[in-house]
Amino acid sequence: MPKEFFAVKGNPFFKKTFYSTILSTNIAVYNFLADRLFEGDVNRIVWASSEKTFRKRQEQVNARKNPLIGTLDMPYCSFRLCQDGLENAVHRQWFNQALNVEGQWIEELGRKVRQTPVQLRYEGVICVQHDTDLYWLQQLLLWNASNETILTPILETKSDGGKEEEIKNIAVVTIAPHMNGRFSEDEWVRNNKIQAIDVDIQADTYLLLDNREGYWIAVKSALAFLNNVMPEAIKAGREKGDEAGYAEPPFILPDPDKVSSDDMMSILNRHVFS
């Protein structure tokens, strides 16, 4: 049996449009954390569980190939959707049997869209070295924890007339910070003077369904997200082709007119949300 048998994910068996809701919400939360915590710097956000935060951050920093930044380039925030993080337990009165079964009429689409409320739960951790960064980020988190933030994950679908239409979903995000988070890598944390804040994130949103067309990731919005997340990798891929890239195989930003939504989902899963 090859050693990489269980290491390589490959393509998923199911290609259902429900995952587009999750992926578009992931992107919206990713940008939200960058905007609120690091003045829009998406290079300080990592898609990783708390257990693998150092490893994934080091991979991200190494890919940038900048000798002037440290091993982990703190401060940064990692987050990831929990394994059991999708459930129909929103904390607001969103459920409506008519919307769930029959749907709401959307004039631009020429059909009804079914809406089922769901909650996505993420685990997050912020790692810092300087006390100044710690205190400032604590204040930012507490300010944001006292309010809800409404995000607009973007999807696309086809109208009954065959025209592609952009759909803006809703995701109400709340966060709960917990100071002095602990890691299993305690020795490394102590020796490197790393301080941590655990962050629980939840997003109440809708799964969108109907009996005719699916819903998929908006390609142009996803490409803009990739352009922000991986600028060095994209530049290297364009200049050196197969000799450089963000990961194996090398990443080169695709042509928006030639890439499909399914391909876009595979690119996002492989290079960002893996």
Q: Is residue 192 in a domain?
A: yes
Structure confidence at residue 242 (pLDDT): 46
DSSP 92: S
Q: Is residue 90 in a domain?
A: yes
Q: Is residue 173 in a domain?
A: yes
Residue 199, phi then psi, degrees to nearest 5: -135, 120
- Bridge-partner residues for 80, per DSSP? 123
What's the pLDDT tens digit per position in 206-253? 888 876 667 888 888 888 888 888 766 555 555 554 444 444 445 677
Task: Give the separation between CA 257 and CA 270, rounded to whole angstroms.
Answer: 21
Task: Give the separation between CA 171 and CA 243, rounded to whole angstroms.
Answer: 40
pLDDT, average across residues 126-151: 88
Structure confidence at residue 145 (pLDDT): 84
Query: What is the number of domains present in the chain?
Result: 1
| pTM of the predicted model over 0.75 | yes
Structure confidence at residue 14 (pLDDT): 61
Residue 121, phi then psi, degrees to nearest 5: -115, 130
pLDDT bracket for residue 172 (50, 70, 90)? very high
Q: Domain holding 175: CATH number?
A: 3.30.2000
Q: Is residue 81 in a domain?
A: yes
Task: Give the separation between CA 60 and CA 85, rounded to whole angstroms.
Answer: 25
Farthest-apart Cα atoms in the chain, separation: 62
- Bridge-partner residues for 176, per DSSP? 200
| Cis preceding-peptide flag for 75 (omega within 30 of 0) | yes
What's the pLDDT tens digit per position in 59-88? 888 877 666 666 788 899 999 999 877 887
How does the average pLDDT of the chain come out, rounded? 79
Q: Is residue 35 in a domain?
A: yes
Which range has the worst mean pLDDT, 2-6, 15-19, 96-100, 122-126? 2-6
Contact (CB, 8 A) for 265 and 273: no
Residue 197's domain comprises: 18-219
Check whether 151 has a pLDDT greater than 80.
yes
3-state secondary structure of 89: coil
Residue 90 burial class via C-beta count within 10 angstroms: exposed 0-12, middle 13-18, buried 19 and up = middle
Contact (CB, 8 A) for 176 and 145: yes
Q: Is residue 161 in a domain?
A: yes
- pLDDT above 70 coverage of the chain, percent: 76
What's the pLDDT tens digit per position in 5-49? 444 456 666 655 667 888 999 999 999 999 999 999 999 999 999
Q: Is residue 65 in a domain?
A: yes
Q: Is residue 130 in a domain?
A: yes
